[in-house]
Amino acid sequence: MNEMAVPRVHTFTNGLRLVLAPCEAESVAFGLFVGAGSRHETARTAGISHFIEHMLFKGTKKRRPIDITREIEGRGGNFNAFTGEESTCYYAHLPHEFFGEAVDIILDMYLNATIPEDEFEREKGVIVEEIRMYSDEPDSVAMENLQKALFPGNGLGMPVAGTPESLAPMRPADLRRYIAANYLPSRTVAVIAGRFDEARAVEEVARRIGRCRRRGATLGGSPVDFSVPPCGEVAAEKDVQQTQLAIGYRTFGVRDRRKYAAIVMDAVLGRGMSSRLFQEVREKRGLSYDIASRMQFFQDAGMFTVAAGMDGAKSSLAVSTIDRVLDGIRSRKVPRAELERTKAFILGNFRLTHESVKAKLFFYGSTMLSFGRLVTTDEQVDAVRSVTATDVLEAAEAVLDPANRSVSRVVPLAGAKRPHGGVVS
């Protein structure tokens, strides 16, 4: 098999897009990316996409839950799923000779999940415990509150898992209706990555779903109203010793021409130990053990975030230090040497990541959903290489707009004993 084989897309008459991404490997990964996530829900259905993700593993018309697990793990493989704001993904990764089994199991879950009553109630309890688990993690709380503040009144600000209150009234029939309305070939991207025969791959998928003619109406979920400003400051008290800080900016979406410059900006600021924020906040000033930034894009909006944990007595100094670093990149061009070093870091990391069959699967599935077309790795690499210092400055001015900024803190409970005499600021 040609290691540099060019991926291609096969589109079925029912709208299903199948990405074929062969490469040198001893394994194959098959996944489905459904264009339905938490932003498409309402307050009444909050968490239903994530609930369905759990329930698809709980049995089909011909498989019990234990059968699904054994058929994958019994062949040395692994499988999982995840839900995001705009999509839900299901995938299996197996030795290449079991390609047919991977396709059969994942598509059986997608097409024939039964949502049994006993499993439904039990899994609802599991998800509530998952929500409680994350509510005990201050960094998760800070980021969830930040996203809600950045997108007030919009589905992008809703927690992906929902809340115990939104889950409580849900019944199996609700999930079945949601699946029937949204789990449609025309809203789904299938991806095969690794070692496989392309002709057989198309045949295997076509036999199971290629002739399924289900189509649906436009997904729910309102666009982001940029005339509504983000909430400026939000805070929550938890039984913690550190203050968890998250600073965020609401910005443009995934198809904006400035996307790749914003990715470079993010890497300059907060990706890796040589980044500006890590060097200034941790190495020079010792304000936090760890600090990082992240650039995330959705269809019509995006968000840039900086997160760190610190002694509460240092939080004001930490914010002012972070702001000074951010002001630097939006007011002065990145020096040539730093720009080239950062682009080399991004591209090297990209290459290393894409040695993984599953990474290829996630890349092609997510980009196909986002752009509606095949985005190759070469296109991504060329786009990053072409970014100039002027491009980064332009992106930074747009992204780091003070009018689109929110700050989220998780602070120790009032009156709680603080180590080293620190106080919450």
Q: Which amino acid is at 80?
A: N
CA distances in angstroms from 40 to 50, 156, 215, 284, listed in the order given = 12, 9, 17, 44
Q: Note whether 376 and 354 are within 8 A (CB).
A: no
- Of 187, 401, 188, 161, the closest CA to residue 302 belongs to 401
- Active-site annotation, residues: 53
User: What is the distance between the terminal CA atoms of the chain, rounded to a whole angstrom?
Assistant: 60
- Retrieve residue 381's tokens: 């690499």
Q: Note whether 412 and 237 are within 8 A (CB).
A: yes
- Of 257, 247, 368, 357, the closest CA to residue 304 belongs to 247
Rounded distance, CA 317 to CA 321, Å?
Answer: 6
- Of 14, 21, 20, the closest CA to residue 187 belongs to 14
Write the secondary structure of 35-71 as one string of H (helix), E (strand) and C (coil). Answer: CCCHHHCCCCCCCHHHHHHHHCCCCECCCCHHHHHHH
SS3 call for 282:
helix
- What is the tally of helices (H) and strands (E) in the chain? 15, 11
Provide the sign of the torsion angle of the four alpha carbons 125, 127, 128, 133, taken in this order.
positive
Q: What is the DSSP string of 160-201?
A: TT--HHHHTT--HHHHHHHHHHH--GGGEEEEEEES--HHHH
